[in-house]
Amino acid sequence: MPELPEVETIRRGLEKLILHKKIKNVVILCEKSFRGDPKWVVGQKMDRLDRRGKALLIQLSNKMWMMAHLRMTGQMIFEGGEKFAAGHPDGGFTEKMPGRHTRVYFDFEDGTHLYFNDQRKFGFIAVLDELGLAEDSFLKKLAPEPWDMKSEDFWGMLQRHKSAPIKAVILDQSNIAGVGNIYADEGCFYAGILPWRRCGDLEREESDLLLKGLCEVMQAAIDSGGSTMKDYVRADGTKGSYLEKFAQVFRRDGLECRRCGGMIEKTRVAGRGTHYCRGCQK
DNA sequence: CTAGGATCCTGTCAGC
DNA sequence: TGCTGACAGGATCCTA
């Protein structure tokens, strides 16, 4: 899905647009994209927006929660006086809603709408009560947010996965929350670490630098409104600017490294496309 | 317990 | 043009 910075961008954008709006109706176009009973949300207001890792959490006035996982291709689109689309781009901003990838949408009492689009159907919205949220298997094993992690805890975590490639470990949400394929590559570049190195091979200093890199790179992405791909648009419809402005390696294979001038290369680590600079990363 | 691979689904693109 | 395989900003399930 969009990674932590993109979900945070969605949270901030939607907070301004849907807070305290009353849901008049829910339309489910794809059964597997919505878990729970629509009756639990109809007539409720959206009172609060939170985020944990890559999960978006919306609290309703009856104290139930809607948890949205955007996974690979999910996006949220608000249509009202203004339009806001964020997540996976896929024509969300320009296409007439509901579109061919709309899976669920909400009509608000004031005539505005919120659409959940998801091309690959990996994502979903789940309606849960307080207990269900507390017992959710994903949230339960989700590690702390990067900035809430102490460097010694991060180091200790790496020691528990000595033989695994560093990238596989930081992508695992039970080790650190919110890191996805872009920021894993960017964080490794920041720390000067080749992503396939085994955790047990890292020095303590490299571990500290990697945690710092993940925090800085994701904070910078939030500050600039989330990264963008050909189909990523942020909540108010303007394009995010992280990738074009700040990405050092992600999807830059074949291009010159901005730091050393060498060529960025691409390989496969932990089953994912992985970008790195031979000159800058050891 | 860990690590690695297949899998869920739709769409696009490169190469024949 | 039409087909085929690879790949895609994620997470889970199964296997060794």
Catalytic annotation on A144? no
* Number of folded domains that form chain A: 2
pLDDT the model gives residue A236: 47
Give the pLDDT mean for A159-169.
96
Kindly state whether residue A237 falls inside one of the protein's structural domains: yes
State which residues form the domain around A266.
146-276
- Would the Cβ of A229 be found within 7 angstroms of any atom in strand B? no
Structure tokens at A115: 């659409």
Residue A224, SS3 per DSSP: coil
Average pLDDT, chain A: 92
- Would the Cβ of A278 be found within 7 angstroms of any atom in strand B? no
pLDDT the model gives residue A89: 66
Q: Please give the distance of CA A50 from its chain centroid, rounded to a whole number.
A: 13
A10 and A123 co-located in one domain:
yes
- Would the Cβ of A168 be found within 7 angstroms of any atom in strand B? yes
Q: Is pLDDT above 90 for A122?
A: yes
Give the pLDDT mean for A43-67.
98
CATH, residue A50: 3.20.190.10
A268 and A161 co-located in one domain:
yes
A154 and A180 co-located in one domain:
yes
| Marked catalytic residue, from A12, A52, A54, A167 | A54
Q: Which of A113, A140, A167 is the last residue of a domain?
A: A140
- Whether the upstream peptide bond of residue A5 has omega within 30° of 0, thus cis, is no
Kindly state whether residue A172 falls inside one of the protein's structural domains: yes
Q: Please give the distance of CA A275 from its chain centroid, rounded to a whole number.
A: 19
Chain A, 64-83: which CBs lie within 7 Å of strand B? none
Catalytic annotation on A272? yes
For residue A116, list its beta bridge partners: A76, A104
Give the pLDDT mean for A102-129.
97
pLDDT-derived band at A231 (thresholds 50, 70, 90) equals very low
Q: Is pLDDT above 80 for A212?
A: yes
Q: Is pLDDT above 70 for A7?
A: yes
**Which nucleotide shows the minimum CA-to-C1' distance to residue A55?**
C10
Strand order across the beta sheet in which A46-52 lies: A34-35, A124-128, A65-69, A55-60, A46-52
Q: Is pLDDT above 50 for A230?
A: no
- Would the Cβ of A5 be found within 7 angstroms of any atom in strand C? yes
Catalytic annotation on A251? no
pLDDT the model gives residue A86: 81
**Which nucleotide shows the minimum CA-to-C1' distance to residue A173?**
C11
Confirm whether pTM is higher than 0.85.
Answer: yes
Kindly state whether residue A281 falls inside one of the protein's structural domains: no
pLDDT the model gives residue A243: 73
Catalytic annotation on A3? yes
